[in-house]
Amino acid sequence: MTNRPLIGVFDSGFGGLTVLRELLHHLPGADFLYLGDTAHLPYGSKSQAAITRYTRAAIRELVSRGAELVVIACNTASALALPSLQDNAPVPLVGVVGPGAEAAAAIVPPDSTVLVLATEGTCNSHAYAEACATHGLQAVEKPCPLFVPLVEEGWTDGPITEQIADVYLQEALAAAPQPPQAIVLGCTHYPLLRPLLQREIAKLDGNIPIVDSAEATARHTVTLLPTAANPGSAEPRLHFLATDAAAKFQRFAPRFLGREIPTVELITLED
Amino acid sequence: MTNRPLIGVFDSGFGGLTVLRELLHHLPGADFLYLGDTAHLPYGSKSQAAITRYTRAAIRELVSRGAELVVIACNTASALALPSLQDNAPVPLVGVVGPGAEAAAAIVPPDSTVLVLATEGTCNSHAYAEACATHGLQAVEKPCPLFVPLVEEGWTDGPITEQIADVYLQEALAAAPQPPQAIVLGCTHYPLLRPLLQREIAKLDGNIPIVDSAEATARHTVTLLPTAANPGSAEPRLHFLATDAAAKFQRFAPRFLGREIPTVELITLED
C-alpha cells in the first residue's frame, strides 16, 4: 500500500509531457496518470464548446481512476475550459495559464509588456491577457499555428523554422505598444523551440527572457501537495492513457518527456 | 418536388471543398450535402481504427439525410477506411485515391514512376501505391505534414513555403528509382499549393505534370450519376454540416470552394 498522491495530467496529446517532466522533477513523491486526447488533437483550432466537453470527460476519467488533483497541461484547455469547470470540479484543478503569467510577473518590472506565443484558440480566449492583467502586466498574444506541426515534424532547428519564427516574432513586436520584457511560451510544444526562439529574439530585439509555464505550473502544484516534494522510497509510478494512436504517442513521448515510456493504454472518452 | 440526386460529400474538414468545387462543375444537375468532421480534424496523423469509425458514422449520417451516393473526399479516409466500408455500404461510395491514380495513368507512359504527395496516414497505408500498381505504375509516396498547416495559415506562396516544398520534393526525388513522370496531389489541401509546387518542381526536375484527384473523382462520379451531368432548371442546393467550429468552417470555405457559403449546421456524430 502507498500513501503517495496520484496526480492526473491532461493534455490534448503528447505536448503535455513537457509539463509532466517538470512535475516529476518537482514532485518526486507522487505517482502520475497522464491522459492525452489524441483523438481530438490538436485543440488549438477547435471550439470552446468542444474543448470544454472533452476536458470535462477527461477530468471525470482521471478522477474515476483515483487522481486526487488534475493538472490541465494543455494551454488551450486551460484557457478555454478551465474557468467554467473549476467551480464544480470533484478535485482541485491546476491550469498552466495562471502559473505562466505569474512566472513572467516575477521577472519583469511593473507595468511591463509581455509577449505570449500560443495557439489560435488560446490567443482568441485572451486568458493570458487577463491573467497578466491581474499582475499589472500588458500581454501581446501572438498565435503561431505552424509551431506545433514544425515540432511534430521534428524541425526544431534550421533555417526554415528560424524564418517562420522570425515572421511571427516580427509581427508580434510590431504589434507591441512597448518592447516586451519577457516571452511566455503558451503552448506545451513550444519549449522544444526554446533555444531557437532565444537565438532569433536576440537577433531582433536583444536578450528577452523566455518563460515556460511548465516549470511554473509544477511549482504551483507543489504548494497544493507539499508532501509530494519529498522523494519517497520508490520511483514515481507512471501510467499513460490516450484516446487514439497509442503507438505514435509512445514513439513521440521521449522527445517531450526526456525518457522512454513503457505502454500506452488506449481508451474511449464518453463526451 | 425534385428528382435531382442528392450527393453526400464527406471530409475531415473543409479541404474536401476542393472536391465539392469539381463536383459542382461536373454534376450541375445534383444537390449536395457536405459533412466536415472538424471535431477530429486533421485525419492525417490519426489511426486507421479511429478514421474508419468516424467515416462509418459520417456515411450513416449522410445517408439518413437522403444522400444516394457518398463521395469520400478525404484522401486519408479514402485510403484507410473506404476499403473496409465499401462492401457493406448502404449506397455507392466513391473515394479519391482510385480516380487520382487513374488520372495519373492516363497521362504517363507505361511502367512510369509517379510521385504522390500526401499525409502521413495516406502514405503509410500505401493505398496510392496499390492503386497505381493496378495501372502498372510505381508510386513514390511522400508525406508532407507541413502542407496542411501552411495552407490553413494562408501561406500558399512565398519563400518559406517554397523552401519547405523544396525539402519535401528533393527528399522524394532522391527516393524515386527513376524520374517521376507525374505528381499526384493526394490531399485535398494541396491543390491550393499547386502553382507553387509546379514552379518548384520545374526548378528541380523539369516540367512534371501535376494531377489533382478532385477533378478525376468528379469525372468518375459522373459515370455513376450520368443524368446529373446535365444542369437542371435550378441552381444546385448546398447544405453544410460540421462536427465543430462551424464559424471557422464558414470563414475558411471560400478559399477552398471558390464561393461564400451561407450557413453551417453543427452536428454530433455517434461513434
Q: Which chain B residue shows the shortest CA-CA distance from A246?
A: B47
A234: exposed, middle or buried (Cβ count in 10 Å: 0-12, 13-18, 19+): exposed
pLDDT value at position B233?
Answer: 85
Residue A1 lies in a domain: no
Reply yes or no on whether the pLDDT at B78 is more than 50. yes
Q: How far is B265 from chain A (nearest CA, A)?
A: 14
Active site residue B74: yes
Residue carrying the nine cell digits 487520382: B100
Residues A39, A111, single domain; the answer is no
Single residue among B195, B213, B231 that ends a domain in this structure: B213
Residues B150, B116, single domain; the answer is yes
Q: Do A245 and B45 touch (CB under 8 A)?
A: yes
Q: How far is A207 from chain B (nearest CA, A)?
A: 25
pLDDT value at position B141?
Answer: 98
- Do residues B54 and B40 make contact, with C-beta atoms less than 8 angstroms apart? yes
- Do residues A180 and A173 make contact, with C-beta atoms less than 8 angstroms apart? yes
Residue B134 lies in a domain: yes
Single residue among A213, A229, A255 that ends a domain in this structure: A213
- Do residues A137 and A184 make contact, with C-beta atoms less than 8 angstroms apart? no
Handedness of CA A135, A138, A143, A147 (dihedral sign): negative
Residue A158 lies in a domain: yes
pLDDT tier at B205 (50, 70, 90 boundaries)? confident
Residues B22, B37, single domain; the answer is yes
User: Grid coordinates in use for A34?
Assistant: 497522464
* Among A153, A264, A121, A103, CA closest to B149: A153
Which residues of chain B are within 8 Å of residue A149 when distances are taken between CB atoms? 145-146, 148-149
Q: Do A146 and B159 touch (CB under 8 A)?
A: no
Q: Which helix (H) or strand (E) holds B123?
A: helix B120-125
pLDDT value at position B1?
Answer: 45
Active site residue A144: no
pLDDT value at position B220?
Answer: 96
Residues A128, A168, single domain; the answer is yes
Q: How far is A49 from chain B (nearest CA, A)?
A: 9
Residue A109 lies in a domain: yes
Residue B176 lies in a domain: yes
Q: Do A268 and B271 touch (CB under 8 A)?
A: yes
Q: Tell me if chain B has a CB within 8 Å of the CB of A86.
A: no
**Numbered residues of the known binding site of B:** 11-12, 43-44, 75-76, 188-189
Residue A41 lies in a domain: yes
Q: Tell me if chain A has a CB within 8 Å of the CB of B170.
A: no
* Cα–Cα dist B259/B255, whole Å: 8
Of A41, A46, A146, the CB nearest to B149: A146
Residues B103, B209, single domain; the answer is yes
Q: Do B244 and A163 touch (CB under 8 A)?
A: no
Q: Tell me if chain A has a CB within 8 Å of the CB of B48.
A: no
Residue A129, helix vs strand vs coil: helix
Residues A65, A82, single domain; the answer is yes
Domain span at residue B255 reads: 6-95+216-266
* Cα–Cα dist B68/A66, whole Å: 48
Reply yes or no on whether the pLDDT at B178 is more than 80. yes
**What's the average model confidence in pLDDT over B21-27?**
97
Q: Tell me if chain A has a CB within 8 Å of the CB of B248.
A: yes
pLDDT value at position B270?
Answer: 74
Instruction: Determine phi and psi for B195, rounding to 5 degrees.
Output: -60, -45
Q: Do B146 and A146 touch (CB under 8 A)?
A: yes
Reply yes or no on whether the pLDDT at A23 is more than 90. yes
ipTM above 0.85, yes or no: yes
Residues B81, B57, single domain; the answer is yes
User: Grid coordinates in use for B65?
Assistant: 439525410
To test the contact with chain A by mutation, choose from B12, B40, B45 the residue with the greatest count of A C-beta atoms within 10 A, namely B45
Q: How far is A91 from chain B (nearest CA, A)?
A: 27
Which residues of chain A are within 8 Å of residue B124 when distances are taken between CB atoms? none
**What's the average model confidence in pLDDT over B71-79?**
97
Residue A271 lies in a domain: no
- Of chain A, the percentage scoring pLDDT greater than 70 comes to 99
Q: Do B46 and A40 touch (CB under 8 A)?
A: no
Q: Do B45 and A153 touch (CB under 8 A)?
A: no
Of A45, A50, A160, the CB nearest to B163: A160
Q: What are the C-alpha distances in Å from A178 to residues A66, A109, A111, B2, B169?
A: 47, 13, 10, 62, 42
pLDDT tier at B271 (50, 70, 90 boundaries)? low
Q: Which helix (H) or strand (E) holds A53?
A: helix A48-64
* Among A224, A221, A225, CA closest to A213: A221
CATH number for the domain harbouring residue A255 = 3.40.50.1860
pLDDT value at position B70?
Answer: 98
Reply yes or no on whether the pLDDT at A51 is more than 70. yes
Of B39, B46, B160, the CB nearest to A164: B160
Q: Tell me if chain A has a CB within 8 Å of the CB of B189.
A: no
Residues A195, A241, single domain; the answer is no
Residues 6 or more apart whose Cβ sits within 8 Å of residue A183:
A114, A115, A116, A117, A197, A201, A208, A209, A210, A211
Count of domains for chain B: 2
Residues A89, A223, single domain; the answer is yes
Q: Do A47 and B244 touch (CB under 8 A)?
A: yes
b/e burial code for range A100-126 (CB count within 10 A of at least 16 → b): bbbbbbeebeeebbbbbbbbbbbbbbe
**Numbered residues of the known binding site of B for substrate:** 11-12, 43-44, 75-76, 188-189
The residue type of A61 is E
Residues A139, A48, single domain; the answer is no
* Cα–Cα dist B74/A251, whole Å: 26
Q: Do A145 and B145 touch (CB under 8 A)?
A: no
| Per-residue model confidence as pLDDT tens digits over B39-61 | 999 998 899 999 999 999 999 99
Q: Which helix (H) or strand (E) holds A34?
A: strand A31-36
Q: Tell me if chain A has a CB within 8 Å of the CB of B160.
A: yes
pLDDT value at position A45?
Answer: 85
Q: Tell me if chain B has a CB within 8 Å of the CB of A142.
A: no
Q: Which chain A residue shows the shortest CA-CA distance from B246?
A: A47
A170, HSE (Cβ side, Cα atoms, 13 Å)? 8
Of B41, B46, B268, the CB nearest to A244: B46
Q: Do A146 and B145 touch (CB under 8 A)?
A: no
Residues A25, A102, single domain; the answer is no
Residue A138 lies in a domain: yes
A66: left (phi over 0), alpha (psi -120 to 50) or beta: left
| Per-residue model confidence as pLDDT tens digits over A224-250 | 999 999 998 889 999 999 999 999 899
User: Grid coordinates in use for A221?
Assistant: 502544484
Q: Which comes out higher in pLDDT, residue B1 or B103?
A: B103
Q: What are the C-alpha distances in Å from A188 to residues A11, A249, B196?
A: 9, 15, 32
Residues A209, A110, single domain; the answer is yes
Task: Kindly report the number of other CB atoms within 10 A of residue B237's CB atom.
Answer: 12
